Structure 1
Amino acid sequence: MPDPLARLMYIDDSGHQGSGLVVFGWVCMTPASWQPILRRWLDVRKALHRYLGIDVDRELHATDFVNGRGRIASRIPERYLHDGVPYWRDLGQDVALRLLRELSSFEGLSIGSAFRRLEPHPTQAEKVRFYRDLVREWETELDRSREFAMLFMDGNGLDHSYRTAHRQLRLDSRRIIEDPLMIDSTSSHFVQMADLIAWCAYVAVEQPNRHEFAWPWYEEYLAVRDPRRAPTELRLGNSETP
């Protein structure tokens, strides 16, 4: 019996340029789980549209809406108005919590995150090396389970730097099919899920003072879907150099 295509993985990154922290977050599912998970997410987005006026197709980018920078709703409930002033940050945080509660209960969905501490203002080459090491870890897991996977990343298809991590794999034994398929986050709900996971992982690891309210979010809502229960540090030297 042929080895199955068992994993679809959607990946996004986060971190802090000034401190050198780089984070990748992802969601993972079987092809058979793709449709019911997307249906549940769309049901959540439709509820947000009914109650808050957040369009179903509106991109929810964690850095923006959690910090109140994105005017994500066409109408805002009175509980977020104080002396007539809308508190977008309060709204954004409540939306994030609603999404995290839903993600924590999605059957068939697993999530994960990994981080690496680099020098401040890391180069793209350093980020790609981190991604390469992560891909090799996934290859080892897939080889052990005798499965194949496809990876989707946030991007517009113009940046080809990450594909080198795939093309350095040995073709006769590799388990990840093709280069990473680049999908713009504005059109992918799964990439937006990965974005929220990556942001929560960044906050859990870095613990910036301005985001103290979100420090426990990963542990409280995402750990249950993460086989490793927490963001994993992938240090330099964890994989072989090509």
Structure 2
Amino acid sequence: MCPPSPDTNTNNPVTGGLLETTYLVYVDDSGDETQDLLTALAIPVPAWAHTLQTWKKFRRWVARQFGVPTSTELHALDLGTNSNAGRGKLPPLKPGDRNQITSAAFRTIGSIAELRVLTVYAPVPEGSGGLYPQLVAFTEEFCEFHDSHAVIWYDGTAENLARSTRAAHRALPYSRRVLEDPTGYDSSESHLIQMADFIAHSAHHAVLNDRGTGPADSYLREHAYNKLLPTADTPGHVWPSGIDADGLPRYAHRLGIRDYPPKAR
């Protein structure tokens, strides 16, 4: 039996989630010495080709306007502040150019209504090492509610990372909806991992902004995670698990990040 339609279930704050499909999920992390986040960009199979072509159209625009070749890897870290910090792979850009590219990236991602974003959070010193199983569990919940399945790709090709992520999948029950072992990607070879990078980095800055910390010149403080998808309350998230004491979907803050804010110890 299919779950209730996301359009009518009051515990699901986001309309239009696709039922009975497969989601291709792209994962990247972000954070600093104060926190860690892990974000999944979930693309339903029927929207995969459109998503890729929409991002490639954005990349062609960046190439024409700012001279950044479509083959150059884009990282939000290189674009999100008015400084020269970052990985140094971009040609020289003015601060206003970086802001324009970042803003256009968010508009591009937010224009694709079928996309869903799932983010988990942990304060350091807990670190991000334990976040991947949490993200897989989140994805399982999401897929169960939508009577759907998922296949996951993540940023990174190190063997120790492959072992730890594979172990998280193989610990799932046979009734699992997250299928197969996860696959590592070199982000320079995947536009969709680069999209996930923008979302993860903006989620990190959204929390910094919410806490009133972080770099004052960060463009992401004003144009971040909570701007990505056009909905109120918890953008891009589905929470079928009930409502908490504050009237929000369980585990969800207004930023829609699981386990943020952290519970008082």
Report the CA distance between 1:26 and its aligned residue. 2.4
After superposition, where does 1:112-151 map in structure 2 within 5 Å?
112-119=118-125, 122=126, 126-151=127-152
Report the CA distance between 1:89 and its aligned residue. 3.4
The yes-or-no answer on 1:176 pairing with 2:178 is yes
Distance in 1 (alpha carbons) for counterparts of 2:257 and 2:226:
16
Contact 1:218 1:230 in 2 (8 A): no
Report the CA distance between 1:87 and its aligned residue. 5.4
Of 5-14 and 134-143, the range deviating more from structure 2: 134-143
Report the CA distance between 1:44 and its aligned residue. 1.1
The yes-or-no answer on 1:164 pairing with 2:167 is yes
Q: Deviations over 1:89-135 (max 9, x none)?
A: 3322221111111111123222232211132xx5xxx5232221221
Runs of 5+ consecutive residues of structure 1 not aligned to the other structure: 74-85
Report the CA distance between 1:71 and its aligned residue. 5.2
Normalised by the length of structure 2, the TM-score is: 0.73
1:11–1:211 CA distance, 2 compared to 1 (3 A): farther
1:93–1:71 CA distance, 2 compared to 1 (3 A): farther
Number of residues of Structure 1 aligned to a counterpart in Structure 2? 217
Q: Deviations over 1:56-112 (max 9, x none)?
A: 111001112334343523xxxxxxxxxxxx654332222111111111112322223
Distance in 2 (alpha carbons) for counterparts of 1:205 and 1:178:
32
Q: Deviations over 1:27-71 (max 9, x none)?
A: 211112111111111111111111211111110011123343435
Give aligned-pair identity as a percent: 26
Of 201-210 and 217-226, the range deviating more from structure 2: 217-226
1:209–1:25 CA distance, 2 compared to 1 (3 A): same
Distance in 2 (alpha carbons) for counterparts of 1:112 and 1:141:
9
Q: 1:72 aligns with which of 76, 86, 90?
A: 90
SS, match of residue 157 in structure 2:
coil
The yes-or-no answer on 1:52 pairing with 2:66 is yes
Distance in 2 (alpha carbons) for counterparts of 1:36 and 1:6:
15
